[in-house]
Amino acid sequence: MRRVRLLVGLLTLLGAGCAAPAASADSAIGLGSTAAVPAVAGPASAGPGPAVAPVSETAPARAATIKSIRTTDSTKGVITVVGTLTPAPAAGTRVPLHQWLPAQKRWQEIAHGYSTGTGVTITTVQPGSIRSYRIAVGAQAPYAAAISPVISFKHYVWRGFFKKGLVASGGVGQPQLNVVPPKEGPRRAEADLLASKGGSVWGDVGTTGCRYSRNWLGNITDGTVRVSLYNGTKALTSLRMKQETEGWINQDITGVTRLRLQVADIQSGYGPYVSIDSLLLCTN
């Protein structure tokens, strides 16, 4: 009897030694264990399944850059902006062009274009100005929104010589400077200058922010006259015109803040008489 009990005890010990090993963590998860799940790469909302601990990561960056900005039509005031967006957004993505408004201290969208590959071209019509610009693109998964570095740009546009009015006028021998009224000449560029025989007539305009003066001249008197441009009272250039002829007098006026256009008689029967169509290339 004692021997039987010993044999039973021995068999019990042997059975315990052959038991299955404890399950690994992976198999425990597979069996629905509450053991912690290791963090995995990717968003927590990747799909159904066991809860995934959130992973701290920054969205990939998209770069926006203004490659070029220039005035492509100085008569109409057209600005053309070429930008790059890398990596390329979805084709046809709307890309706004912003202009900084100093008075309001804010950015304003003034135009937009649509992306083609990594490029975008935007055009807008603006008056002469010196402003800051940027382009922007909205968020598109997995990329966050992007804004380009700011670029300052001088936009020169042609405007009428008399658009901002005369600073002063004068001359010798009953001088007359008659600017064509706005209803007849909305560009404010046309005028007639005349005086008595042997006389002269001049007009001054403010030209701060301007860099070029372009003037068409038509001498309709019965003799020879001289048309001149002055920096204040310092002569810049002049043109001698014979009876009933046309001509041009053009001049770089960078740095000139007060420009004078003058017509003077050289030899005529009834005095100088010149019609002009004059423009200034300015940022204002």
Q: Are strands 168-172 and 200-206 parallel, antiparallel or unpaired?
A: antiparallel
pLDDT at 198 over 70: yes
Dump pLDDT digits (tens) for 160-193: 999 999 999 999 999 999 999 999 999 999 999 9
The distance in angstroms from the start CA to the end CA of the chain is 120
Dump pLDDT digits (tens) for 125-134: 999 999 999 9
Note the pLDDT of residue 200: 98
Domains of the chain in start order, with CATH, are 63-155 (2.60.40.10), 160-282 (2.60.120.1060)
Q: Whole-angstrom Cα distance, residue 190 to residue 218?
A: 11
Note the pLDDT of residue 19: 41
Q: Which of 242, 281, 241, 244 is nearest to 262 (CA)?
A: 241
pLDDT at 32 over 60: no
pLDDT band at 225 (very low <50, low <70, confident <90, very high): very high
Whether the Cβ atoms of residue 137 and residue 85 lie closer than 8 Å to each other: yes
Whether the Cβ atoms of residue 141 and residue 222 lie closer than 8 Å to each other: no
Span 248-272, average pLDDT: 97
From residue 274, how far is each of 134, 190, 222 by CA, in Å? 46, 11, 11
Q: What are phi and psi of 186, to 5 degrees?
A: -65, -20
Q: Does the CA dihedral 204-209-211-215 come out positive or negative?
A: negative
Share of the chain above pLDDT 70, in %: 80
Note the pLDDT of residue 60: 86
pLDDT at 54 over 70: no
Note the pLDDT of residue 57: 57
pLDDT at 52 over 80: no
Q: Whole-angstrom Cα distance, residue 87 to residue 61?
A: 9
Q: What are phi and psi of 17, to 5 degrees?
A: -70, -20
Look at the chain and count its residues: 284
Q: Whole-angstrom Cα distance, residue 24 to residue 46?
A: 25
From residue 157, how far is each of 129, 200, 280 by CA, in Å? 8, 31, 8
> Counting beta carbons within 10 angstroms of the beta carbon of residue 258, is it exposed (0 to 12), middle (13 to 18) or buried (19 or more)?
middle
